[in-house]
A and B are shown apart, each in its own frame.
Chain A
Amino acid sequence: MRESTLQRINYAMILAIFVTLAVHLATHAFLGVSGYEDSLTYASVVGRYRAFSTVLTLGVLLIAACFHGLYGLRNILLETRWGARRHRLVSTATRLLGVAMVGWGLRTIVLTTWGV
Protein backbone atom coordinates (compact mmCIF):
# COMPACT_ATOMS: atom_id res chain seq x y z
CA MET A 1 0.00 0.00 0.00
CA ARG A 2 1.31 3.45 -0.88
CA GLU A 3 2.35 5.67 1.98
CA SER A 4 -0.03 8.38 0.74
CA THR A 5 -2.95 5.93 1.02
CA LEU A 6 -2.02 5.13 4.62
CA GLN A 7 -1.72 8.86 5.28
CA ARG A 8 -5.20 9.53 3.81
CA ILE A 9 -6.66 6.83 6.06
CA ASN A 10 -4.79 8.38 8.98
CA TYR A 11 -6.31 11.81 8.28
CA ALA A 12 -9.78 10.26 8.21
CA MET A 13 -9.09 8.51 11.52
CA ILE A 14 -7.88 11.79 13.03
CA LEU A 15 -11.13 13.53 12.11
CA ALA A 16 -13.13 10.60 13.52
CA ILE A 17 -11.16 10.76 16.78
CA PHE A 18 -11.86 14.49 17.16
CA VAL A 19 -15.60 14.01 17.04
CA THR A 20 -15.90 10.77 18.99
CA LEU A 21 -13.35 11.62 21.68
CA ALA A 22 -15.07 14.94 22.37
CA VAL A 23 -18.38 13.10 22.82
CA HIS A 24 -16.71 10.40 24.94
CA LEU A 25 -15.10 12.93 27.29
CA ALA A 26 -18.30 14.96 27.49
CA THR A 27 -20.33 11.90 28.51
CA HIS A 28 -17.94 11.35 31.40
CA ALA A 29 -17.78 14.98 32.44
CA PHE A 30 -21.30 16.33 32.26
CA LEU A 31 -23.48 14.86 29.51
CA GLY A 32 -26.25 12.91 31.21
CA VAL A 33 -24.26 12.42 34.41
CA SER A 34 -23.87 14.44 37.56
CA GLY A 35 -20.08 14.23 37.58
CA TYR A 36 -17.04 12.16 36.72
CA GLU A 37 -17.42 9.70 39.63
CA ASP A 38 -21.10 9.21 38.78
CA SER A 39 -20.21 8.36 35.19
CA LEU A 40 -18.05 5.43 36.35
CA THR A 41 -20.68 3.56 38.38
CA TYR A 42 -21.66 0.14 37.03
CA ALA A 43 -25.26 1.14 36.37
CA SER A 44 -24.22 4.32 34.57
CA VAL A 45 -21.69 2.50 32.35
CA VAL A 46 -24.01 -0.38 31.43
CA GLY A 47 -26.91 2.05 30.93
CA ARG A 48 -24.90 4.07 28.42
CA TYR A 49 -23.98 0.96 26.42
CA ARG A 50 -27.70 0.34 25.79
CA ALA A 51 -27.82 3.43 23.57
CA PHE A 52 -26.90 2.90 19.91
CA SER A 53 -25.18 6.29 19.82
CA THR A 54 -22.76 5.16 22.54
CA VAL A 55 -22.04 1.90 20.74
CA LEU A 56 -21.36 3.76 17.50
CA THR A 57 -19.20 6.42 19.19
CA LEU A 58 -17.12 3.94 21.13
CA GLY A 59 -16.73 1.57 18.19
CA VAL A 60 -15.54 4.31 15.86
CA LEU A 61 -13.27 5.81 18.56
CA LEU A 62 -11.74 2.42 19.28
CA ILE A 63 -10.88 1.65 15.67
CA ALA A 64 -9.72 5.19 14.86
CA ALA A 65 -7.59 5.60 17.98
CA CYS A 66 -5.94 2.20 17.57
CA PHE A 67 -5.15 2.84 13.91
CA HIS A 68 -3.80 6.34 14.55
CA GLY A 69 -1.76 5.33 17.59
CA LEU A 70 -0.25 2.24 16.03
CA TYR A 71 0.47 4.03 12.73
CA GLY A 72 2.44 6.60 14.73
CA LEU A 73 4.25 3.88 16.67
CA ARG A 74 5.06 2.08 13.44
CA ASN A 75 6.60 5.26 12.00
CA ILE A 76 8.73 5.83 15.08
CA LEU A 77 9.92 2.20 15.11
CA LEU A 78 10.78 2.26 11.40
CA GLU A 79 13.07 5.23 11.99
CA THR A 80 15.43 3.33 14.21
CA ARG A 81 16.20 0.26 12.11
CA TRP A 82 15.76 -0.19 8.39
CA GLY A 83 15.48 -2.78 5.70
CA ALA A 84 12.72 -5.01 4.37
CA ARG A 85 12.95 -7.47 7.27
CA ARG A 86 12.54 -4.78 9.91
CA HIS A 87 9.69 -3.26 7.96
CA ARG A 88 7.86 -6.61 7.86
CA LEU A 89 8.49 -7.20 11.57
CA VAL A 90 7.24 -3.79 12.66
CA SER A 91 4.22 -3.88 10.32
CA THR A 92 3.21 -7.37 11.47
CA ALA A 93 3.69 -6.56 15.16
CA THR A 94 1.66 -3.35 15.00
CA ARG A 95 -1.07 -5.06 12.99
CA LEU A 96 -1.32 -7.88 15.53
CA LEU A 97 -1.39 -5.42 18.40
CA GLY A 98 -4.08 -3.45 16.60
CA VAL A 99 -6.18 -6.55 16.03
CA ALA A 100 -5.81 -7.50 19.70
CA MET A 101 -6.78 -4.07 21.00
CA VAL A 102 -9.68 -3.56 18.59
CA GLY A 103 -10.81 -7.14 19.08
CA TRP A 104 -10.86 -6.87 22.87
CA GLY A 105 -12.58 -3.49 22.76
CA LEU A 106 -15.28 -4.73 20.36
CA ARG A 107 -15.77 -7.77 22.57
CA THR A 108 -16.44 -5.44 25.52
CA ILE A 109 -18.92 -3.38 23.47
CA VAL A 110 -20.78 -6.41 22.14
CA LEU A 111 -20.98 -8.25 25.47
CA THR A 112 -22.00 -5.16 27.43
CA THR A 113 -24.62 -4.04 24.93
CA TRP A 114 -26.14 -7.43 24.17
CA GLY A 115 -24.71 -9.97 26.55
CA VAL A 116 -24.64 -8.63 30.11
Chain B
Amino acid sequence: MDPSVVATEKTRLPRRGRPILWAFQRPLHLERLALLAQRVSGVAILVYLFFHIFVTGTVTEGRGVWESTMGALSNPLMHLGEWLVVVAATFHAVNGIRVMLLELTPLVGKPARPDYPYEAKSLGKGQRSVLYVAMLMTSLAGLAGVVILWGL
Protein backbone atom coordinates (compact mmCIF):
# COMPACT_ATOMS: atom_id res chain seq x y z
CA MET B 1 0.00 0.00 0.00
CA ASP B 2 1.19 3.52 -0.75
CA PRO B 3 2.83 5.03 2.39
CA SER B 4 0.82 8.22 1.77
CA VAL B 5 -2.39 6.32 2.50
CA VAL B 6 -2.74 6.49 6.26
CA ALA B 7 -6.12 4.84 6.86
CA THR B 8 -9.25 3.53 5.18
CA GLU B 9 -12.54 3.19 7.00
CA LYS B 10 -16.05 2.35 5.89
CA THR B 11 -18.59 5.13 5.89
CA ARG B 12 -22.25 5.56 5.02
CA LEU B 13 -23.45 6.65 1.63
CA PRO B 14 -24.82 10.18 1.96
CA ARG B 15 -28.59 10.11 1.80
CA ARG B 16 -30.51 13.24 1.10
CA GLY B 17 -32.86 14.50 3.75
CA ARG B 18 -31.69 12.74 6.92
CA PRO B 19 -33.60 14.70 9.60
CA ILE B 20 -30.92 14.79 12.30
CA LEU B 21 -28.17 15.67 9.85
CA TRP B 22 -30.38 18.31 8.29
CA ALA B 23 -30.99 19.95 11.63
CA PHE B 24 -27.34 20.37 12.53
CA GLN B 25 -25.67 20.63 9.16
CA ARG B 26 -23.04 23.29 8.80
CA PRO B 27 -23.01 26.22 8.39
CA LEU B 28 -24.70 26.25 11.77
CA HIS B 29 -25.74 29.83 12.19
CA LEU B 30 -28.46 31.38 14.28
CA GLU B 31 -31.01 31.79 11.46
CA ARG B 32 -30.81 28.10 10.57
CA LEU B 33 -31.33 27.12 14.21
CA ALA B 34 -34.25 29.56 14.32
CA LEU B 35 -35.84 27.70 11.39
CA LEU B 36 -35.44 24.41 13.24
CA ALA B 37 -36.96 25.90 16.40
CA GLN B 38 -39.79 27.47 14.36
CA ARG B 39 -40.72 24.11 12.84
CA VAL B 40 -40.45 22.15 16.08
CA SER B 41 -42.48 24.75 18.00
CA GLY B 42 -45.05 24.94 15.21
CA VAL B 43 -45.69 21.22 15.13
CA ALA B 44 -45.76 21.06 18.94
CA ILE B 45 -48.32 23.87 19.12
CA LEU B 46 -50.46 22.20 16.46
CA VAL B 47 -50.50 18.93 18.39
CA TYR B 48 -51.38 20.87 21.56
CA LEU B 49 -54.15 22.73 19.70
CA PHE B 50 -55.65 19.44 18.57
CA PHE B 51 -55.93 18.14 22.12
CA HIS B 52 -56.87 21.56 23.51
CA ILE B 53 -59.93 21.78 21.25
CA PHE B 54 -61.18 18.38 22.38
CA VAL B 55 -60.39 18.91 26.08
CA THR B 56 -62.16 22.29 26.18
CA GLY B 57 -65.08 20.61 24.38
CA THR B 58 -65.82 18.69 27.58
CA VAL B 59 -67.35 21.87 29.06
CA THR B 60 -70.49 21.00 27.06
CA GLU B 61 -70.88 17.74 29.04
CA GLY B 62 -71.65 19.61 32.24
CA ARG B 63 -69.95 20.67 35.46
CA GLY B 64 -69.10 17.14 36.63
CA VAL B 65 -67.24 16.10 33.48
CA TRP B 66 -65.46 19.46 33.24
CA GLU B 67 -64.24 19.38 36.81
CA SER B 68 -63.03 15.80 36.59
CA THR B 69 -61.19 16.62 33.33
CA MET B 70 -59.55 19.65 34.93
CA GLY B 71 -58.71 17.57 37.98
CA ALA B 72 -57.03 14.92 35.83
CA LEU B 73 -55.02 17.58 33.98
CA SER B 74 -54.03 19.54 37.04
CA ASN B 75 -50.70 17.89 37.77
CA PRO B 76 -47.06 19.05 37.55
CA LEU B 77 -46.43 17.24 34.24
CA MET B 78 -49.36 18.95 32.54
CA HIS B 79 -48.33 22.31 33.96
CA LEU B 80 -44.85 21.73 32.56
CA GLY B 81 -46.40 20.92 29.19
CA GLU B 82 -48.48 24.10 29.27
CA TRP B 83 -45.38 26.12 30.20
CA LEU B 84 -43.51 24.62 27.26
CA VAL B 85 -46.41 25.51 24.95
CA VAL B 86 -46.33 29.14 26.17
CA VAL B 87 -42.55 29.33 25.60
CA ALA B 88 -42.86 27.67 22.18
CA ALA B 89 -45.73 29.94 21.17
CA THR B 90 -43.81 33.07 22.16
CA PHE B 91 -40.74 32.11 20.15
CA HIS B 92 -42.87 31.00 17.21
CA ALA B 93 -44.77 34.28 17.24
CA VAL B 94 -41.82 36.67 17.54
CA ASN B 95 -39.62 34.72 15.11
CA GLY B 96 -42.63 34.64 12.80
CA ILE B 97 -42.75 38.45 13.00
CA ARG B 98 -39.08 38.46 12.00
CA VAL B 99 -39.82 36.25 8.99
CA MET B 100 -42.76 38.43 7.94
CA LEU B 101 -40.68 41.60 8.28
CA LEU B 102 -37.92 40.11 6.14
CA GLU B 103 -40.39 38.89 3.53
CA LEU B 104 -42.51 41.99 3.28
CA THR B 105 -40.45 45.03 4.28
CA PRO B 106 -37.13 46.65 3.28
CA LEU B 107 -35.59 45.30 6.51
CA VAL B 108 -34.16 42.43 4.44
CA GLY B 109 -31.88 44.87 2.60
CA LYS B 110 -31.48 46.31 -0.87
CA PRO B 111 -29.45 44.96 -3.78
CA ALA B 112 -26.10 46.66 -4.23
CA ARG B 113 -22.78 46.01 -5.91
CA PRO B 114 -21.15 43.06 -4.15
CA ASP B 115 -17.72 43.95 -2.82
CA TYR B 116 -15.28 41.61 -1.12
CA PRO B 117 -15.59 40.19 1.62
CA TYR B 118 -19.19 39.79 0.40
CA GLU B 119 -21.20 40.20 3.59
CA ALA B 120 -24.74 39.05 2.91
CA LYS B 121 -27.25 41.84 3.53
CA SER B 122 -30.00 39.38 4.42
CA LEU B 123 -27.89 38.13 7.34
CA GLY B 124 -27.00 41.58 8.63
CA LYS B 125 -27.09 43.04 12.11
CA GLY B 126 -30.51 44.62 11.71
CA GLN B 127 -32.16 41.33 10.82
CA ARG B 128 -30.32 39.41 13.47
CA SER B 129 -31.32 41.89 16.15
CA VAL B 130 -34.97 40.88 15.63
CA LEU B 131 -33.93 37.29 16.27
CA TYR B 132 -32.25 38.37 19.51
CA VAL B 133 -35.50 40.13 20.47
CA ALA B 134 -37.35 36.85 19.80
CA MET B 135 -34.99 34.98 22.09
CA LEU B 136 -35.31 37.63 24.79
CA MET B 137 -39.09 37.62 24.63
CA THR B 138 -39.15 33.83 24.79
CA SER B 139 -37.11 33.97 28.00
CA LEU B 140 -39.45 36.62 29.43
CA ALA B 141 -42.47 34.52 28.47
CA GLY B 142 -40.87 31.58 30.21
CA LEU B 143 -40.48 33.63 33.37
CA ALA B 144 -44.02 34.96 33.10
CA GLY B 145 -45.28 31.42 32.58
CA VAL B 146 -43.59 30.27 35.77
CA VAL B 147 -45.16 33.13 37.73
CA ILE B 148 -48.65 32.58 36.30
CA LEU B 149 -48.76 28.77 36.32
CA TRP B 150 -47.05 28.15 39.61
CA GLY B 151 -47.82 31.47 41.31
CA LEU B 152 -44.20 32.00 42.34
Whether A and B touch (Cβ < 8 Å) is answered with yes
Q: List chain A positions with a Cβ less than 8 A from chain B.
A: 11, 14, 17-18, 21, 25, 29, 35-36, 40, 42, 45-46, 62, 65-66, 69-70, 72-73, 76, 80, 101, 104-105, 107-108, 111-112, 115-116
B93 touches A107 (CB 8 A): no
Q: Does B17 contact A (CB under 8 A)?
A: yes
Query: Provided the pairs A14-B96, A42-B66 are in contact, do residues A76 and B57 lie with their beta carbons within 8 angstroms?
Result: no
Q: Does B105 contact A (CB under 8 A)?
A: no
- Across the interface, which residues of B come within 8 angstroms of A66, CB to CB? 49
Task: Give Cα A66–Cα B62 distance, bound, in whole angstroms.
Answer: 26
- Tell me which of A25, A73, A112 contacts B59 (CB under 8 A): A112
Count residues of B near A (Cβ-Cβ below 8 Å). 28
Interface SS of chain B? helix
Task: Give Cα A97–Cα B57 distance, bound, in whole angstroms.
Answer: 16
- Tell me which of A18, A40, A105 contacts B93 (CB under 8 A): A18
Q: Does B56 contact A (CB under 8 A)?
A: yes
- Across the interface, which residues of A come within 8 angstroms of B49, CB to CB? 65-66, 69, 101
- Across the interface, which residues of B come within 8 angstroms of A11, CB to CB? 100, 104
- Across the interface, which residues of B come within 8 angstroms of A76, CB to CB? 39, 43
Task: Give Cα A40–Cα B78 distance, bound, in whole angstroms.
Answer: 14
- Known contacts A21-B89, A40-B70; 14 additional CB pairs below 8 A are A14-B100, A25-B86, A29-B148, A36-B151, A42-B66, A65-B49, A69-B46, A69-B49, A70-B46, A72-B42, A72-B43, A76-B43, A104-B57, A112-B60
